[in-house]
Amino acid sequence: MLDIVRIPVLNDNYVWLMRESASGVVGVVDPAVAAPVLDEAARRGWKITHILNTHHHGDHVGGNREIKAATGCTIVGPKPDRARIPGIDVEVDDGDRYRFGAAEADVFFVPGHTSGHIAFSFADDRALFCGDTLFALGCGRLFEGTPAQMWHSLKRLRALADDTRVYCAHEYTQSNARFAVTVDPANRALAARAAAIDTARAAGQATVPSTLGEEKATNPFLRADDLGVQAAVGMAGGDPVAVFAEVRGRKDTFR
Ligand code: ZN
Ligand code: FE
């Protein structure tokens, strides 16, 4: 069983620290920086044994070398991106099952935000570490991939169980919600969620993790094949890839 702790760092990044209770192994997902992660682990008496990286961006791997130097941990990252992951020890790729103590992660290759992006799905724990692929009410920008790739990646994540918790890497939810209601205006679940997010943020609370069930019902980037979203962007009956590209394009210029 995984005990998962959220560590807010930089402006809006979340680093996830987790301990597998049966074995005592401790992993860090996407350490943007080292010091707050080492401090939190020390405070809990947890010895970091692993870093899991989803992609190569600096706000996800920036703490790799310092944490490895301090702990001797093993760095696990995407094989397609091995040249861009500092200190990588273990390369994993689509379809791999990575054993983490008594837990096990399925590795999904989910290109789109970057060309080598992966996600770790701990199905027994209903925990999905998806980096910058899927956000609460959003998805990552397409820096190195096409809309078709990203839509395919998101559809694979969407196929996981509704009670999966989505441990994404940024607190972008409130601004994502402001956009989402413009492309899914008739979605009542979305309107209710947007209001709840405003309340949570006003109280200084985090909105991550969400559940995949919530995302399926309200995240427009998982709903390019939904008639409501399609109609709202003037593409009723359209190809989901084209609808996804339209929604993503609108978000890129949304203010
Ligand atoms: Zn990124
Ligand atoms: Fe990021």
Tell me the one-letter amino acid at 37.
V
127 - beta bridge partners?
A: 122, 165
- Asked if the bond preceding 209 is cis, omega within 30° of 0, the reply is yes
Which tens digit of pLDDT belongs to each residue from 128-142? 999 999 999 999 999
Which tens digit of pLDDT belongs to each residue from 27-62? 999 999 999 999 999 999 999 999 999 999 999 999
Residue range of the domain that includes 234? 2-252
Q: In the chain, how many domains are there?
A: 1
CA 248–ligand 1 middle distance (angstroms): 16
Which tens digit of pLDDT belongs to each residue from 86-114? 999 999 999 999 999 999 999 999 999 99
In this prediction, residue 88 carries a pLDDT of 98
pLDDT at 255 over 90: no
Options 30, 56, 81, 113, the catalytic residue = 113
Options 30, 50, 56, 59, the catalytic residue = 59
3-state DSSP of 194-205: HHHHHHHHHCCC
Contacts with 208 (C-beta within 8 Å, 6 or more apart), sequence order: 6, 14, 136, 166, 167, 168, 170, 171, 173
**Residue 59 in contact with residue 13, Cβ under 8 Å?**
yes
Q: Taking the model in full, what pTM does it have?
A: 0.98
Average pLDDT, the chain: 98
CA 132–ligand 1 middle distance (angstroms): 5
**CATH code for the domain in which residue 160 is found:** 3.60.15.10
146 - beta bridge partners?
A: none
